[in-house]
Structure 1
Amino acid sequence: MLPEFIRYLEAERRYSPLTVRNYRRDIERFMAWLDCDDASFDPQSVTTDQVREWIIDRTEQGGIGAASMNREVSSLRTLFRWLLRTGAVTHDVMRPIASLRTPHRLPAFVPESRMKGIVGECERDSGDFAAERDALIVLMLYACGLRLAELVGIDRDDLSDDAMSLRVRGKGDKERMVPVPEPVREKILRYLDLIKRQNICDSGEKALFLTRKGERISRTAVYRTVRRELERNGVQGKKSPHVLRHTFATHLMNGGADMREIQELLGHASLQATQVYTHNSIARLREVYAKAHPREKDGK
């Protein structure tokens, strides 16, 4: 059963390999809790009460948070909808299961004043392949609002001939075109020249971001690069590629960009996912108000 479901996720839903892996892991974990495997799993015998017991066990005994639990529940929900559609079950045991309430958290982002210094440093020409690559990673995550998987997946031919725009493959293998700011374009051209002059890629690998051996860079390497660069520049709190994506969106919102334009640049399927950045803007307005408004200054 599970192999057929995985093929459905890959072929019909067109989920990324990472997403498919997470679905498989979540479902196998539920099967293990039921003390069975794919060969002995009988979806028709699963009850809603069992699912509720599993959720309680995972959250209370396993200690996982509401957001992680909701992801696992979502995996099961997708599985049982597929089973219902294919006729493997006669009713959906997941229908009565509600998602757990999660605390509302604003996306972390780097303040504009701090980001300006980081960008200025990244735009400098070092002449060293690894340094240029790492600086370009930070620049493109921030200037283009890319997800980690999107950045790692970029091929050199995804850039337009003049390197002024970039084709990005997002979630569900959906493509979007993203403009490349001129300073980032110049950095890309210098980096591509270094690859050519130093024979970094003589294996035919078409990825934009490469290791010194000419192989596509890994997600882990990108994550470590971002963490190191943000740490070195004194950024407090969470330091990850997604923080740079949040920073991109928040700075655009603060600069007056239209929300639907930001949605398109980020590749969000719905406007609701983009609306969270309005909260960051409101938080910033409150801060400005507290510092500058006469009533606040007078203590009234």
Structure 2
Amino acid sequence: MCSANTDVVDDFLEDLWLAEGLSQNTLSSYKTDLSHYLNFLNDKNCWSADLDLMQRFIASRVQKNYSSRSNARVISTLRKFYQWGVDKAKVSDNPAKRLVLPKMVKSLPKDLDETEVSRLLDAPDISTDIGLRDKAMLELLYATGLRVTELVSLELNDVNLRQGIVRVMGKGSKERLVPMGEYALEYLIQYLDTTRKDWLSGLKEEKVFVSQHRKGITRQSFWHRIKHYVGEVGIRKDISPHTLRHAFATHLLNHGADLRSVQMLLGHSSVSTTTIYTHISQVRLQQLFNKHHPRA
């Protein structure tokens, strides 16, 4: 790798940090993408690279089975890097802007059917403190379709037990009100009146869901709890932290909810984001038809 290239990338990242205040994770992604690119260039000066060389770099990634999403991100990085080069008069043209973004395959979310969800929700042992807390969290997650981050971020003043509603601050600081349903409300009240009160012993903590360490439970800790219960009840699917959110949306649509209502409950800014769940519902309906219709 040409050391001059490495120095240029360092300058680029420093300017990005100063100008845009990007997070370390974002800067690390840029650095990783550009490191792969510089390795491909070997000792060739990055400012002499043309469109053909960049296309061969992307083709090499395709041959190594990098995903379309990953390659699209790399192209975006190259475009930004070479535009910076133009702005700094290091190069006269940005050949990366002529790279064609790969078509993104819109993957369907991993799905749990209603029986599997019931098994998962019934897994915690509610005779224990941890089990009761986990039961309340799982029931609330499935009843509201919250993101896991939104769930663990809930504070006491976000929950209206009398009306059975939670106030959620979602992406883009957009607030929404979501009903929690009878089951979630029942176990949430039990948890607040017993486990939470016992663990905190009068300590002030605004987060609704806490750990035995007397502070809010983290997203990672709760995700480990979910994986524990998934294994315990023998669900063999590779689920994600969003799985119960996906199940919430899919099962609502399967039972006749309209798309606009589901969009509002999920906090999607555009209904087009919510339409992916209609595909899952259609798949489910096709499976039911094939299984039960005499002429299928």
User: TM-score band, normalised by the shorter chain?
Assistant: 0.7 to 0.9
State the Cα deviation string for residues 86-118 of structure 1 (Å, max 9, x = none). x66887665433332344432221111232343
Distance in 1, Cα, partners of 2:97 & 2:104: 20
Unpaired runs of at least 5, structure 1: 12-19, 37-42
Deviation at 1:171, TM superposition (A): 2.2
Whether contact under 8 Å (1:5, 1:82) holds in the other structure is no
Q: Structure 1 residue 233 and structure 2 residue 233: aligned?
A: yes
Deviation at 1:236, TM superposition (A): 2.5
Q: 1:177 to 1:291 in 2, by over 3 A?
A: same
Identical aligned residues as a percent: 29
> What does residue 70 of structure 1 align with?
72
Q: 1:169 to 1:287 in 2, by over 3 A?
A: same
What amino acid is the match of 2:130?
A: A
Pick which of 103-112 and 51-60 moved more. Answer: 51-60
Whether contact under 8 Å (2:123, 2:232) holds in the other structure is no
Distance in 2, Cα, partners of 1:185 & 1:3: 49
Q: 1:5 to 1:182 in 2, by over 3 A?
A: farther
Deviation at 1:183, TM superposition (A): 1.5
Q: 1:252 to 1:283 in 2, by over 3 A?
A: same
Distance in 2, Cα, partners of 1:278 & 1:244: 16
Distance in 2, Cα, partners of 1:23 & 1:205: 32
Deviation at 1:259, TM superposition (A): 0.7
Deviation at 1:279, TM superposition (A): 1.1
Whether contact under 8 Å (1:145, 1:249) holds in the other structure is yes
CA RMSD of aligned residues (A): 3.5
Whether contact under 8 Å (2:51, 2:95) holds in the other structure is yes
> What does residue 264 of structure 1 align with?
264
Q: 1:175 to 1:227 in 2, by over 3 A?
A: same
Q: 1:119 to 1:275 in 2, by over 3 A?
A: same
> What does residue 166 of structure 1 align with?
166
> What does residue 143 of structure 1 align with?
143
Whether contact under 8 Å (2:146, 2:245) holds in the other structure is yes
Q: Structure 1 residue 24 and structure 2 residue 23: aligned?
A: no
Whether contact under 8 Å (1:80, 1:93) holds in the other structure is no
What amino acid is the match of 1:269?
A: S
Whether contact under 8 Å (2:33, 2:77) holds in the other structure is no
State the Cα deviation string for residues 237-257 of structure 1 (Å, max 9, x = none). 122321111111110110111
Pick which of 111-120 and 287-296 moved more. Answer: 111-120
State the Cα deviation string for residues 12-41 of structure 1 (Å, max 9, x = none). xxxxxxxx45422211213434659xxxxx
2:137 is paired with a residue of what secondary structure? helix
2:234 is paired with a residue of what secondary structure? coil
1:283 is paired with a residue of what secondary structure? helix
2:215 is paired with a residue of what secondary structure? coil
State the Cα deviation string for residues 222-245 of structure 1 (Å, max 9, x = none). 211111212222322122321111
**What TM-score results when the alignment is normalised by the length of structure 1?**
0.76
Distance in 1, Cα, partners of 2:117 & 2:254: 14
What amino acid is the match of 1:235?
A: I
Distance in 2, Cα, partners of 1:132 & 1:156: 18
Alignment of 1:124-273 (within 5 A): 126-160=126-160, 162=162, 164-200=164-200, 203-273=203-273
Whether contact under 8 Å (1:23, 1:75) holds in the other structure is no
State the number of aligned residues: 278
Distance in 2, Cα, partners of 1:81 & 1:242: 36
Distance in 1, Cα, partners of 2:17 & 2:162: 39
Distance in 2, Cα, partners of 1:278 & 1:219: 28
What amino acid is the match of 1:118?
A: L
> What does residue 290 of structure 2 align with?
290
State the Cα deviation string for residues 47-89 of structure 1 (Å, max 9, x = none). 666654554455545x532233334545666x569969xx668
Whether contact under 8 Å (1:110, 1:235) holds in the other structure is no
1:177 is paired with a residue of what secondary structure? strand
Distance in 2, Cα, partners of 1:35 & 1:182: 57
Whether contact under 8 Å (1:30, 1:54) holds in the other structure is no
What amino acid is the match of 1:28?
A: K
State the Cα deviation string for residues 187-230 of structure 1 (Å, max 9, x = none). 11111122453142655332222110112222221211111212
**What TM-score results when the alignment is normalised by the length of structure 2?**
0.77
Structure having the higher Rg = 2
> What does residue 115 of structure 1 align with?
117
Deviation at 1:265, TM superposition (A): 1.2
Alignment of 1:34-73 (within 5 A): 52=55, 55-61=58-64, 63-73=65-75
Whether contact under 8 Å (2:108, 2:276) holds in the other structure is yes
